A and B are shown apart, each in its own frame.
Chain A
Amino acid sequence: MRPFLSAMIVLMFAMTGGALADRPKENVEADASTRQVAITSSFTGTEILVFGTVENSVQPSPEAGTYDIIVVVEGQPVPAVVRQKSRVAGIWINTSSMHFAVVPSYYAIASTRPIDEIADKAFLDAHQIGFDHIRMVPSGASDADAAATETFRQALIRLKEQQRVYVKRDFGVTFIGRSLFRSTIALPPNVPVGPLTARVYLLKEGKLLGQYESRVGLRREGIERFIHNFAISQPLAYGLTTVLLAVAAGLAAAFAFRKPA
């Protein structure tokens, strides 16, 4: 009887996955505060709140640091060209360039602590978490050596950071309860228009426990939408309208200010 019981216990452990057999597995649920960001004529940038909860949290307190959360908000994949100037006959000219087939138009990352402390390179690469782990493949001339590619890639990241469309906040995610966490993501005034994807990763000791994905629309609304569509879909009429406006304004001013004859 005794050997049989032991075998049963061993089997139970094996089936439920170890020591914490009776506790359900952790997972993450998250969402963004806004599903639709409108770019109107008064748009000066905005913030979105990404929040969520760790299901079945065993974290004793918000500060305990049992779990790590990484929030990535990413824009549309777009082509990009990075150019490098050098001195030719005394003036600075764009002499070399590298084309990247796709890079995120916008990329914000926030985490509970620096990402290289949270997970290893293989994981970050696989999920494209962090500026250095975004897949950026040069298009066209494939003969460029790795060092040059890396230089241009670093320049792209640096320039995008300067434009505030690549943003990183190492301690940008905070737990406000045993399971509830939040993070604010800044969208600058020059944020590229197009839908955003928000990804949330839950990790513990470098192991992925769960992930969640949500979409945030980012589009022009109202008069901005009208003007932009007009300029793109009917460029001739748009150009003529601009000219008419200019000519009418010039004539109106001349009429208003004309000298009494």
Chain B
Amino acid sequence: MTLYLPIAEMSVSVIAFLALGATVGFLSGLFGVGGGFLLAPLLTFLGIPPGVAVATSTSHVAASSVSGAMSQYRRGNVDIKLASVMLAGGVAGSYVGVAFVKMLTVRGLFELTVSLTYVIFLGVVGTIILIEGINSSRKTRTAGSASVRKPGQHGWMEHLPFKMRFPRSKLYISAVPPVVIGTFVGFISAIMGIGGGFVMIPAMIYLLRVPTVLVIGTSLFQIVFVSATATVLHAVENQTVDIVLATILIVGGVFGAQFGTMAGEKIRGEHLRVLLGALILLVAARMAVDLAIKPGDLFSLASTPGAF
């Protein structure tokens, strides 16, 4: 069964894209990530124009993170105040990001930028997660897991202005770092079509020293709003959101995610992190290879006026 996509302007197999949505959903449920970093490259690989792939992938991130955010919220694991401060930066960041996408597209540099940011971010984050996963699975074999949190120690951050109290996280810190983190995540979220959890979670743990129990919930809460904002902005600025494609992917994705979550409960956390790190590095390596090898055709065509 095929369906004609109104924005991508092509006819696609519904089954193939349902399966893609389900696979990405399964992995995102398994690892507790948004899955955007897998979806956007895979969509491009299947022939969806890069702009449409990125924009549509952000709507999939919103769908896959909303249920997680909801259950974390019910358990009281969301620091609403901190999330709102980061979100203020996030909205601004994604606005700039979407404008940046438009500018790059006109100059024919969008695909390159997406590939480069993927290679850099996924390379760094994948390596960190992999090393950390390997180390902690070694540690649990010998001793108990070590805590990374040293409460009340923020070093240089102590001296920043606009201090705010975040009672839920038991933090009294400047509003500048959360806003900066939020802005940065919003920016890369718009460019890469991802939620940005893999940047936000480490930043919250290591820079803001948010209690671990609140990190996932607060991050998910903020991802829902940032990806929603990025979707709307892409629709307004670039007209690249394909609602039909989004629906197919989301339907596959939400089912896959539920099974992924169930499977994830059966695997040890450290092993999951090793697998996730390896998967992220694989995507990064694939994109790096594509950048490095000589393309079959040195020429490319951009005929859609205004778009790519």
Contact of A254 among B4, B67, B239 (CB under 8 A): B67
Interface status of A238 (Cβ within 8 A of chain B): yes
Contacts of A136 in B (CB 8 A): none
| CB-CB contacts below 8 Å: B48-72 with A | 59-60, 62-68, 70-71
Contacts of B9 in A (CB 8 A): 190, 192-193
Query: Could you say which residues of chain B place their CB within 8 Å of the CB of A93?
Result: 109, 112
Given A247-B66, A247-B224: A239 and B6 interface contact (C-beta under 8 Å)? no
A42 to B292, CA, bound (A): 39
Stretch at the interface among B138-146, B277-285, B296-304: B296-304
In the complex, the answer to whether B63 meets A249 with C-beta atoms within 8 Å is yes
CA distance A109 to B62 in the complex (A): 46
Q: Is A152 an interface residue (CB 8 A)?
A: yes
Q: Is A177's CB within 8 Å of the partner chain B?
A: no
Q: How far is the CA of A77 from the CA of B246 in the complex (A)?
A: 31
**Partner among A92, A156, A224 whose Cβ is within 8 Å of the Cβ of B6:** A224
Question: Is the C-beta of B198 less than 8 angstroms from some C-beta in chain A?
Answer: no
Given contacts A83-B108, A159-B301, A242-B231, contact A250 B239 (CB under 8 A): no
Do B305 and A78 touch (CB < 8 A)? Answer: yes
Q: Does B160 contact A (CB under 8 A)?
A: no
The tally of residues in B whose CB lies under 8 Å from a CB in A reads: 56
B60 smallest CB distance to A (angstroms): 7
Chain A residues contacting B200 (CB-CB under 8 Å) are: none
- CB of B147 closer than 8 Å to a CB of A: no
- B251 touches A (CB below 8 Å): yes
| Nearest Cβ on chain A to B299's Cβ, whole angstroms | 4
Query: Could you tell me the dominant secondary structure of chain B's interface residues?
Result: helix
A residues in contact with B59, CB < 8 Å: 242-243, 245-246
The answer to whether A80 touches B303 (Cβ under 8 A) is yes
Please determine whether A239 and B301 come into contact, CB atoms closer than 8 angstroms.
Answer: no
Contact B10 A78 (CB under 8 A): no
User: Which of A1-9, A12-20, A226-234 is the interface stretch?
Assistant: A226-234
Identify the closest chain A residue to B234 (Cβ): A239
B residues less than 8 Å from A43 (CB atoms): 4, 11
Q: What B residues does A158 contact at CB under 8 A?
A: 297, 299
Query: Does A61 lie at the interface of the complex (its beta carbon under 8 Å from any beta carbon of B)?
Result: no
A105 to B9, CA, bound (A): 13
A41: interface (CB < 8 Å): yes
Q: Is the CB of B66 within 8 A of A232?
A: no
> Is B117 an interface residue, CB under 8 A from the partner?
no
Question: Does B254 belong to the interface (CB within 8 Å)?
Answer: yes
Task: Report A-chain residues with C-beta under 8 Å of the C-beta of B71.
Answer: 254
| Minimal Cβ-Cβ distance residue in A for B71 | A254
CA distance A103 to B302 in the complex (A): 12
**Cβ distance A154 to chain B, nearest Cβ, rounded Å:** 9
CB distance from B53 to the nearest CB of A (A): 15
**Option from A78, A79, A83, A246 in Cβ contact (under 8 Å) with B246:** A246
Q: Contact: B6 with A220, CB < 8 Å?
A: yes
The answer to the question of A91 belonging to the interface, with a C-beta cut-off of 8 Å to chain B, is yes
Does A139 count as interface, using CB distance less than 8 angstroms? no
**A241 CB–B CB distance under 8 Å:** yes
| Binary flags per residue of A189-219, CB closer than 8 Å to B gives 1, else 0 | 1101100000000000000000000000000
Contacts A92-B291, A250-B67; A231 near B6 (Cβ below 8 A): yes
Query: Distance (Å) between the CB of B235 and the closest chain A CB?
Result: 3
A42 touches B3 (CB 8 A): yes
Q: Is B228 an interface residue (CB 8 A)?
A: yes
Rounded to whole angstroms, the CA-CA distance of A136 and B71 in the bound complex is 58
Chain B positions within 8 Å of A11 at CB level: none
B243 interface hit (Cβ, 8 Å): yes
Residues of A within 8 A of B108 (CB): 81, 83, 94, 97
Q: Out of B116, B232, B254, B292, which one reaches A243, CB within 8 Å?
A: B232
Closest chain B residue, CB of each to CB of A229: B6
Per-position contact with A for B120-144: 1 when CB-CB < 8 Å, else 0?
0000000000000000000000000
CB pair A81 B302 closer than 8 Å: yes
- Decide: A239 and B299 in contact? CB cutoff 8 A: no
Considering the chains assembled together, what is the distance between the CA atoms of A153 and B51 in angstroms?
A: 25
In the complex, whether A64 has a CB less than 8 A from a CB of chain B is: no
Are A231 and B299 in contact (CB-based, < 8 A)?
no
Q: B257 contacts the other chain (Cβ, under 8 Å)?
A: yes
CA distance A93 to B43 in the complex (A): 21
Residue of A nearest to B303 (CB): A80
Which residue of chain A is the closest to B110 with respect to CB atoms? A94
Closest chain B residue, CB of each to CB of A258: B71
Contacting pair B254 A224 (CB below 8 A): no
Assess whether A155 is interfacial by the CB under 8 Å rule.
yes
Q: Does B166 contact A (CB under 8 A)?
A: no
B174, CB-defined interface residue at 8 Å: no
Residue in B59, B67, B255, B299 with the greatest tally of chain A CB atoms within 10 Å: B299
Contact yes or no, A251 B67, CB < 8 A: yes
- Known contacts A78-B305, A231-B243, A235-B236; 8 additional CB pairs below 8 A are A43-B4, A189-B4, A235-B235, A236-B232, A238-B243, A241-B243, A243-B232, A253-B67
The 10 closest A-B pairs by CB, nearest first: A239-B235, A254-B67, A253-B254, A239-B232, A250-B66, A155-B299, A246-B63, A189-B11, A250-B63, A159-B301
